[in-house]
Structure 1
Amino acid sequence: MLEPLNEGGAERGADDLRTSILKEIGASTYTCLVCTDYITPSSKVWSCDHCHRAFDLDCIKDWALRGSSTQDDKSWRCPSCNRSHSKIPKLYTCWCGKSINPTLNVLEPHSCGNTCGSPLKTCIHECSLQCHPGPHMERCTALGPVLKCRCGRHSKQLPCVLTPYDRGWSCDEVCNDILPCGIHRCKQKCHSGLCGECEEEISVRCYCGKASETIVCHERLPIKSEENGVAWIGNFECNDPCGEFFDCGVHKCEQNCHPVNKDSHKCPNSPLNLIYCPCGKTKIDSLLDSPRKSCLDPIPTCESVCGKRLPCGHKCYWNCHDGPCSPCYRTVDAECRCGFTSFSIACALITQGYTPTCTFKCNAKFNCKRHYCTRVCCEFRQVAFDRSKLIKKHLRKNIITSAIAESVEFEDVHTCQKECNQLLSCGKHRCKATCHPGSCSPCLESSSDDLVCNCGRTVVPAPVRCGTTLPICPFQCARQTTCGHRPEPHHCHEDDVSCPKCTMLVTKRCQCEKQNLVTNVMCYQDRVSCFRLCGKKLPCGEHECKKVCHKPGDCQKKCTEKCLKTRKCGHKCQQTCHFGKLCNEALPCQEHVTVTCNCGRRKQPLLCYTVANMIKESKSSHNAEVNGSSIDDESFTPHIACDEMCEKERRNRLLFDALGLNPARAKDTEVMLRMRTVESIYTPFTLNIYAKQAAWCKGIEEIFSQLLAHTMESSFRSLSNSEIKQSHHFRPMREVQRRFVHELAESWGLFSEAHDPEPHRSVFVKLVKSSKIPDIKLQEAHEIYQKYKALEKKKSLERVSRQEEKEKHASDSPEHIYFNGIIIKDVFFGVTVETIDASFFNIWNQTENESRKFPLVKNGRVEFICENMYVFYGDSCLEEEKPALEKQIEKLRPLFDKRVKDSNLALKCILAKVNIEEGTVVEMMDESNHRDEEATGKAQIHDNLVDVATETIDDVKVEAVTVPSEWW
């Protein structure tokens, strides 16, 4: 039967889409979704074959390349319909794809004008429209092919849209073909395929001939039976057992209804029929002394394994036996119902359909997404797990939406049967439906009373749905305030919402006992404070309450101030206030006392109680030594022993007095000697940082002093390592600060290392056996350093004056030594002539003549003199050019000197006179002439180092460290 024609709604929609695309592109108003620019008739376009959206070719190509780079299968998705594509657009074609780079068509943009010809999905024909955008034609207008009816007797041709391609058509004539039974004919009307089985009902006899029944023709299984000369065709098996005697006349046939013939009732235990033992491996005659004579004789068994194939597939492992085999008890591995655990069980149990169970809970989410399955060994656990994994994957790739994920069907065991019981949107009632995913349905309860606001001017008429709230009432709230002031401006509201607090400014008394008047206090404030200290005497009677204005009786319950009474040692007691009790003198005093040597040069900080113990012990033994410290018997004042440097200073003073040297010269010499000691302890960087950040540097030095003080205490009191503070970890600091800590730790003999990456890099210091307090502290070393710099500056000025005077005398002299070379002295080990020559080349030699600074230095080269000395000189020049050459050589020397020091090649460079013809050094300049410049350069280098080091920490505000742990 033919189907009615479609109403044509889809066809009209497709026509509208094609027309709108062409119209918008022709008017240059069609938008590309990638670049959001308009597509014109002259643009190169590409169209999606699913949503038919057109894009600019360059835009969609770039989109596809970017999208395919993130996918494993190199696919990309359409910006409009999100459909996956595997081919990247490269060519500009017409809508049907037949023409590449079609000519400009103003009437039909991007169309080649030919017939579309694309295969239609609904029939065997092609689209007959002109090359077009959008979907192809829905209804074919051509004639369909000539179709035969289902039985193939008649033919017919119809229009394509009416042709039943899938079902075909029927001529309504009876088939009348012979059925498979070969007896009856098919009574169906015209149909396709085979006629099927014969359903005619016939009366037939069973195999044993005892019963007759009416059955369907195709269910009969004909087998011939014959008994006592009577033959018949049996077609089914009846329910009666056979019960006939075998030919032995002793045993009966125990089978159900079966075909009967001359051999069907022979006794199976007869000696003629039974030749082998029950397992079938040994003949019975070989097992008996005499042959069996009747079927009643016992059947012997052999010693072989039975080996018969059991229903489970294994073989019977018992010895040869009569009767059926016993069940298989071999162990096999079987998974539980949920597949989580495997068990070893008897094979017979598996054959009987037994499935083991584990103790693992399912824990799969029900369809409500709230509850979990608690069944033990749930057979659907893996199904739920795979489903959840697939849904998450599709949601992650935007293949499905959340609504689709919630509508997925679950198996019955994972369908939640509990009551939802969630609070509905009304906030009063709970959901009574079965537990479900997503939000609950709105509350269906309602009230027959109107919903009226407090002022009565905003009303929601009945019926009022449960959960409905009043809209915002636009009128001012009319409720009276408790304070009597005007109400704050606000809208009318429900009774369960409080009015805003009164913000009127008033004068109130504070809450403390002083009852001071506080102005400009908001009316709603109950607790008013005057923000003054209480000042009331605490129970100790010595200290005052430090709490700010508070309620009467809320003063401090316990005094937390320090005692600060003077102890026997002269220091203040640092314990918490202990009113009514004497200071505990048994507690060691933690203040530091500076102990010096006899000459006063060395200074060592010790804890007060350590010094007290030393004095106490000295009184009992007037000549005791503790850790290298000697005790004066008269005053019992502890001293530390003088060292070798003290002895040297004493000898120098005696020598100056004995020789009667100038006191000023002796003082300068002492400064130089002490500066040598400073240089052996501290680096110039450490001293320069101290000059810029003295307070911060003293804090670091104080921390090191405390570590060493604990060490000396431990040596006196014989404390264990666990009772001594042996290390300190500074907080994170900048690179310049860390360098200072490292270099100062080296001066104190402490181990230091940096921890953690930037910007949290910090320094860790630790005591070692060689740790000691330097002989000169930073402050004293800085003072010596300043004196040394002043002395060097004074000497430099004196040298400059002597040099000027010497040059003046030299200009008056008829003979003058012109220097034409530079000596490189104290060359480091491993430095070659080629290395120095390459380092100097770019200093004196310039490729451009107009920029050459040393034109008289020609063909400069470096020659070897001795093991650690080289000479630089050039070609000889005219006699009148020698003074100018000397000036150029003098300008070159500081440049050479800086280069060898920066490159770690040598220590110094001095001027020299070289006999170029003989290749010998005639004379070298006195090194004292260079010291002025070296001292000036050294001072400049130190100043530059200070500037570079401190420009990064000048902005760090560091105060004097009184309690190091607070700052660090």
Structure 2
Amino acid sequence: MGPAGEGRTGEELATEDPMKTTKMHKQGKKNSGTSPKERKKAIPSCLNCYHVFHLNCIKKWARSPASQADDGNGGWRCPACQNVEARVPVSYTCFCGKFTNPEWHHGEIPHSCGEMCGKKRSGLDCNHPCNILCHPGPCPQCPAFVNKACLCGKTSQTVRCGQPASICCNQVCGAELNCGQHTCEQVCHSGVCPPCQLRTKQVCYCGMVSQEVLCGTNKENFDGFGHFSCGKPCGKLLDCGNHDCQQPCHSAPCQSCPRLPQLVSSCPCGQTPLAKLLELGDVERRSCTDPIPSCGKTCGKPLPCGSSVTIHVCENICHEGSCGPCSLMSTAKCRCGFKTKEVPCELEFTCDKRCNKKRSCGRHKCTEVCCVDKEHRCALICGYKLNCGLHRCQDLCHRGNCQPCWQTSFDELTCYCGETVIYPPISCGTNPPECKNLCTRTHDCDHPVFHNCHSEEKCPPCTYLTKKWCMGNHEQRSNIPCHLSDISCGLPCNKALPCGMHQCQRMCHRGPCLAESSCQQPCAAPRPECGHPCGVSCHPGSPCPRTPCSAKVVLHCDCGRRKETVICAEAASSYQRTAAIAVASKLSDMQLGDSVDIGQLITKKEMKQARLQCDKECAALERNRRLAEALQIDESADPFHIRSSSKYSDSLKEDARKDLKFVSEVEEEMKNLVELVNKGKQPKRSHCFPPMNREHRKIIHDLAEAYGVESVSYDSEPKRNVVVTAVRGKSVCPNSTLTALIEREMTVRAPPPIAHLRQQIRQNSSREEPVIDYFDVQD
């Protein structure tokens, strides 16, 4: 639940009706928010967004279950900003909170006490109270100016009070580091100085082991001789001057020799006092080197092996030094506690389990057998590249990012031309400064330089616009950038190939054309039998192979109506069969005594002009032609001539009668497409019709056949469409359109001028040979 609108400040907040900012007012109650009556109502404001509400309304809202905070800690949510507040407003106070039930006069800010605000400002570092009159909304920025120290505290500047930005003096910090020997070399920074990164050599307390660590490490453990414990026996000479210290490496002074006579009061096993042994005749000890008398009893000291139930003890005679190995068997756990086994006490039992826990770095696994390590510190070197990109991290493998590279150069860092300088100290990996001067390096071309001085080894490519010849020297191109060397004009190469018969068909290219033996273009030598090109892959220096001709030829019937495209070899074999039949008939005539000229039967010209056989439709068209000639009718003047109508099938005419408008639009598109391809330079042009139903697609395919246009259907239902392609030399517009034929069919025709001619044609139609009535032909 929340109010409509956002919190605002200023006098608008005070004069606006608080009930309009919430949805808690009663239905039908509409207040203008500007009347004097409304200005006298008690209002509180949110301490976070400064939104104002009616006091009674906000009390109801704070007590309602919908206002309770979701965290379950109590408090109610502000309807405007959803800020959780613990205290419910119970009294009407001014904006600054100093007066309860404030009284204000005309001309003053409503709900204000008219006194100085005095509230603490929102700035973090500002201690000045607000010095304007009691007001709604947040207090303005403090107008005072104060001296603010920089991050390192060396300098100070006069800034606006409460300014959140930090001041940096760009000087070296110079503060003492944690080691107490070196100073910080970073530029003025905030926070604590980083630990000293210089490495120093430290030795252990006993002086046997040394290590390299960061300066300041183990500083609190230094005792004047060493910094850490290596864990090995101390080995220092004790105060007796005869024995060495056997305690682990330690910082405190070594204890007195434990074998001194005044410190030893019993035999080695501790069962018999030395005083009693002296009474029995043993020699009194004078120094730490004298042996301690043995009581002769079994040692009996508990051994580390065994268990809580069965305790193993030393079975040797009372002796000095450590007890020997136990000869008994015990059930022992391995070091890691994974397995339990019955083993001799003198052996240490370790299992074969390999530890798979992650090491402290989080990347590598422990892989130790029977591991007892708890910390699993990684002993590998990190080796990752530091932020400088030049050095690698030498610390042990660790989590998180590597420390920044602390190597510093005290040489000046300049740009290539030396005009711009960065003065030391310079952190490792710092890039050369940016220089605004023009580049002074030697360039390959003599064009003007437009790029600035740079630190990269290679200059940017020259973009000066020049004229250059293409790679095949076909033409000179203008406005070519200087750095471009291989330019293609987009034209065919057309250079003579080594074979001597063809030209390079590749687009303008670099380098030599194809080798002599790699030309794969078809041979253009004419065949002796038909005159078509050879067509086999280029074979310089060798005769054309005897292969069947695969060229396509067009066969026509005698009247020229029928035509068919066939392969040249098939047409030749068909004609040879026809010629053989003719020769056989002529030979039969020779047997009867007739003379025959065989040379006229099979000629090369006739081989090329093999014809198809005319059919019944050809005979009908020939009779119609003769009839029109007899009647002196001009065939070209009649748009409904039989040749025009024969291009359209009966099913296409039937479909056109159903949707003549669609057929007209398709014919107009095909006509424009055929005219464009025959007049233009492109050998092919295509047009894509929008998706349509099956019947309309069939009409387009049938019309495309009449226009000599290729048609293909694409995509699947319901978005299946047709693409038509017109080809130059193949696509031709018919003499008469199908639309004109259908419109002529629908018009009422006048009776024929000569009635007896119709009667004569009717009589001819009764013959066995079909005759087409010219006057009845409509399609």
TM-score bucket of the superposed structures, by smaller chain: 0.3 to 0.5
Question: Higher relative contact order by CA 8 Å / sep ≥ 6: 1 or 2?
Answer: 1
Q: Normalization by structure 2: what TM-score?
A: 0.39
Higher helix share: 1
Q: Normalization by structure 1: what TM-score?
A: 0.32
